[in-house]
Amino acid sequence: MNILKINFLITAILIFGFSVSAQNPYPGENETDRFTWSVKFSGEKPSIKDFVQSYLEECGSGDQELNEIAEALAPVWEKYLKNKPQDKHETLIVDPKNGYLRYEGVYNHDNVKEKDVIEMCYWNCSDNKHKLFAISYSNFQNDKPFNTEVTGLSFDIYNNAKHKMTSYYVSELGIELESDDTIVYSLPRVGKTLVATIYKKSGQEKVEFEWNGLKFNKK
């Protein structure tokens, strides 16, 4: 093979590599059948507060009924914004520095101790054009996990330029678990490790997933 052909092949490989790297890693945001919502904020970039506020506004817009997450979080969030104390059975942690929120509410009714746990956080994507926004919701009854229509984990991809969230299946971003047992997802306040706890009859099994900047890898 002569030098001209070798140079041509090298150039072609470099161009192809640049083209692939320049592609949008989240093409799903261009699909019209996905759920999307806008994020409002002031300043250079949104914070966890902006994501939470925009999420709650979207859940309560139009004729939509608040889902279990928004229904539990909305009154507590309103108190937080007005600097009012929370009820004794509820706690709210908002950590703008680490982009994290955690709500916990404990109630007793009909001899059942019920606990709701909501976590929200976000990570920057390595393409510097997107962010991953995650929501985890768990419900416990008498200290045992209980599944509802919205318990579990959800992901949205935020487009920095368009200020828009697009829903993604968790499996599209590397979270794949096959189990008939109840799974509780815990989001990190610090770091990039998401923990899935599988509640089996024989005990609990924990599986960790690490965010690599574009998706999660099982550890």
167 assigned to some structural domain: yes
17 assigned to some structural domain: no
Q: Find how far residue 29's CA is from the centre of its chain.
A: 15
Exposure string (b/e) for 9-32, b if CB count within 10 Å is 16 or more?
Answer: eeeeeeeeeeeeeeeeebeebeee
pLDDT of residue 23: 83
Q: Which domain covers residue 59, as residue numbers?
A: 30-178
- Enter the tokens of residue 126: 């390595």
Please give the tally of structural domains in the chain. Answer: 1
3 assigned to some structural domain: no
195 pairs with which residues across the strands? 186, 208
CB 49 within 8 A of CB 43: no
Nearest to 102 by CA among 75, 77, 79: 77
Which regions of the chain are under pLDDT 50?
A: 4-21
CB 192 within 8 A of CB 67: no
pLDDT of residue 45: 95
pLDDT of residue 12: 43
171 assigned to some structural domain: yes
pLDDT of residue 109: 85
183 assigned to some structural domain: no
pLDDT of residue 213: 97
pLDDT of residue 15: 41
120 pairs with which residues across the strands? 101, 135
CB 194 within 8 A of CB 188: yes
Strand order in the sheet with 193-200: 182-186, 193-200, 203-211, 216-218
198 assigned to some structural domain: no
114 pairs with which residues across the strands? 107, 141
Q: In 23-130, where does DSSP find H-type helix?
A: 48-59, 68-81
119 assigned to some structural domain: yes
53 assigned to some structural domain: yes
pLDDT of residue 110: 85
* Reported pTM: 0.87
pLDDT of residue 19: 40
Q: Which residues contact 169 (CB under 8 A, 6 or more apart)?
A: 155
